[in-house]
Each structure stands twice: as C-alpha cells, then as structure tokens.
Chains A and B, each alone.
Chain A
C-alpha cells in the first residue's frame, strides 16, 4: 500500500516570492510520482511527473520538483510565483507495476498568492 503526506494544508505567499510545497510518500514498491493542480472550480490537471531518469522534473509554467529516494520526497518548487498560480496542489503516487492505474493522493496544499 502507498500513502502520501502533504504537511502543509495552506501556503500563503506574496507574488514574485519563491515557494516550496512539500510531499513525502511511503511505499513498499517503486512508484511513479505526480503533481496535479486544481484551479478554482475546475478539475485536476497534471502539472509534472517523475517516471525515471533525471530526478529533477520541470513543468512548462516554471514549477519544478525533485525526486529524493532516500528521503522519499517529491517537493514542488517555484522560484517566483504569480497570482495565477493560486490553486490547490495535489501530490500523488502510483506503483510502477500497476502502470499508473492506482493513484494515491495526498490531502492537498492550497497555495494562495497575494499581491
């Protein structure tokens, strides 16, 4: 079984400041790692994912996440946030052997960007 912990339920930050959203996971098998974003009143969209290879993955809108196997973490970072980044962010894992069929989500982190 897998579990995902997002320690921060809410993260307020000023525009243009850096931000880190934390994600730790527990699993007895190797997993894929994902960050999904949910903008207000919308469904979830994939932000970025780690499958294999380079442990640093990037999204098209400036977010990045680094897979740390020893610390079982997949923290999400952005060096300078924008108002439009205000959303809820979910970390998720999926067993590699399951081919992405079984997604286990964290409880989400609400990022609120203020002027």
Chain B
C-alpha cells in the first residue's frame, strides 16, 4: 500500500531532551516536507526537501533540523525541545513535477 508513515504517533517528552520523529514514504517521491498544525494557525511548513541531500527552510524552521540521506526517509530532529514545540506534526511527500502532496497520519508531540 502506498503510504507515508510517521513514528512515533504520540510522544510526551521534557524540555531539552533531544528527539527524532521519523517519516518514511514508499512511493519513490522526490519531494518531502514537514508541517506543524496548531489550533487557529492551520498548517505551517517547517522544512522541505526537493531530493536526497537537498533541504530548505519553510516558514517556521527555528528549533528544528532535518536530513535527507535516503529518498524514502525524512526525519525531523528537535535538538533541544521546548514547550512551544508542542504541536501536531505532519510529514508529506509528492512526486517531482506534480501538484498534490500526500500526508502521513501525524505525530502528536507534547513537550513538558
């Protein structure tokens, strides 16, 4: 089944404890992206990647890192999480040259 998977789906952590949220897609998509969803703000793009080893900042990149060493994986790294990063995170992917992004199921992160 073609899909975007995220792990973990739920995570509660404490301020300053490094964490990684994984994203993987099995559709051979070139483009991948991370969003955060907050009440009243909709979805905002954190980082995106056009292809392997090519990443760029979105609208709200502060406090996050990403890497794209393989085409299928696009992990989101929080080196020192803070409470304002408590949010619902979505990974998305799409083939190059197409218009529609496919979203993962989301990761709900709580930073205490």
Contacts and interface: CB of A to CB of B under 8 A. Distances in A.
A39 to B, nearest CB: 11
B99 A51 contact: yes
Interface in B37-83: 40-45, 48, 50
A105 B42 contact: yes
Nearest to A99: B97
Contacts of B40: 9, 107
A11 interface: no
A43 B103 contact: yes
Contact of B48 (A34, A36, A101): A101
Contact residue range for chain B? 20 to 34
B103 A45 contact: yes
Contacts of B48: 101-102
Interface in A28-70: 32, 34, 36, 42-46, 49, 51
B99 A99 contact: yes
Given A32-B99, A43-B103, A51-B99, A102 B45 contact: yes
Given A106-B42, A107-B40, A100 B103 contact: no
Contacts of B105: 42-43
Nearest to A44: B103
Interface of A: 4, 6, 9, 32, 34, 36, 42-46, 49, 51, 90, 92, 94, 99-103, 105-108
The 4 closest A-B pairs by CB, nearest first: A100-B99, A43-B103, A105-B42, A107-B42
